[in-house]
């Protein structure tokens, strides 16, 4: 039997447990607050997939020996990995980095993050440029497509530990918005109009 691990689409098993996502309000309060609309306006995994955002739920307690993680890495070609602990006592230039992570930006490659401990938010723009907030908790592995505008923040708990995965040698370079002239951006925008492209 071949094990096909499609991100989050098999009903009934652990990998289908959806992350919670919602449209954000535009209030000026702290970025670490949830910023939900009232009433809350949830965003489904299908909607996220249309934006090219994929998700798996894994058992982070066994990440060092997890066959499911191994299989995903193999199938997706995630040869590189490291672990980043984001907390004021563990991350050099903590404040500065958090500020950087929260600037709206894109990358020329997919951003792949697996939350091993704690929690955090990834915000992504939808097709109409509205911010969607994705609540990441322990066990969530997410992939953001190259060219999507996004940002990252800790939540009120001020701590997360994440695995960073990458295809080949990692490139962390972020291009702050506006970065619309990159081919990868134009490709991404085109893929939103025609999801089959
Ligand atoms: C990025 O580029 O948005 C990040 O690397 C976010 C921090 S890593 C959990
Ligand atoms: Ni990024």
Whole-angstrom Cα distance, residue 127 to residue 19? 20
Q: Is a pLDDT exceeding 50 seen at residue 3?
A: no
pLDDT at 6: 58
Residues annotated within the binding site are 105, 107, 111, 150
CA-to-CA separations, 160 to 13, 49, 62, 77, 97, in angstroms, rounded: 25, 24, 17, 25, 14
pLDDT at 18: 80
Which of 111, 114, 177 maximizes ligand 1 atoms within 8 Å of its Cβ, making it the mutation to test the pocket? 111
Structure tokens at 181: 């002239």
CA–centroid distance, residue 41 to ligand 1 (Å) = 25
Q: Is a pLDDT exceeding 80 seen at residue 7?
A: no
Domains along the chain?
Answer: 56-189 (2.60.120.10)
Report residue 8's pLDDT band, with 50, 70 and 90 as the boundaries: low
Whole-angstrom Cα distance, residue 85 to residue 102? 17
Q: 51-60, 72-81, 188-197: which range is least confident on average? A: 188-197
The atom number, within ligand 1, closest to the CA of 115 reads 9
The model's pLDDT over 41-72, given as tens digits with 9 standing for 90+, comes to 999 999 999 999 999 999 999 999 999 999 99
Q: Could you tell me the sign of the dihedral formed by the alpha carbons of 187, 106, 172, 62, in that order?
A: negative
CA–centroid distance, residue 91 to ligand 1 (Å) = 13
Mean pLDDT across the stretch 26-48?
97
Mean pLDDT across the stretch 71-90?
98
* Nearest-5° Cα angle at 134, 75 to 110: 35
CA–centroid distance, residue 101 to ligand 1 (Å) = 6
Mean pLDDT across the stretch 106-117?
98
pLDDT at 11: 44
The atom number, within ligand 1, closest to the CA of 150 reads 3
Structure tokens at 151: 């940002």
pLDDT at 34: 98
pTM (predicted TM-score): 0.92
pLDDT at 1: 37
């Amino acid at each position: 039997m071949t094990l096909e691990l499609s991100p989050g689409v098999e009903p009934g098993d652990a990998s289908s447990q959806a992350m919670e996502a919602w449209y954000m309000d535009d209030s000026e309060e702290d970025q670490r607050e949830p910023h939900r609309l009232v009433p809350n306006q949830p965003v489904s995994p299908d909607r996220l997939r249309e934006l090219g955002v994929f998700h798996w739920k894994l058992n982070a307690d066994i990440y060092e020996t997890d066959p499911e993680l191994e299989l995903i890495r193999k199938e997706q070609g995630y040869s590189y990995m490291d672990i980043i602990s984001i907390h004021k006592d563990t991350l050099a230039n903590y404040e500065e980095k958090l500020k950087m992570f929260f600037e709206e930006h894109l990358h020329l490659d997919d951003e792949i993050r697996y939350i091993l401990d704690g929690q955090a938010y990834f915000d992504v723009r939808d097709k109409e440029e509205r911010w969607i907030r994705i609540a990441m908790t322990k066990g969530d592995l997410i992939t953001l497509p190259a060219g999507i505008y996004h940002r990252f923040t800790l939540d009120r708990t001020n701590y997360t530990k994440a695995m960073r995965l990458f295809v080949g040698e990692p490139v962390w370079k972020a291009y702050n918005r506006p970065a619309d002239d990159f081919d990868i951006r134009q490709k991404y925008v085109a893929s939103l109009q025609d999801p089959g492209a």
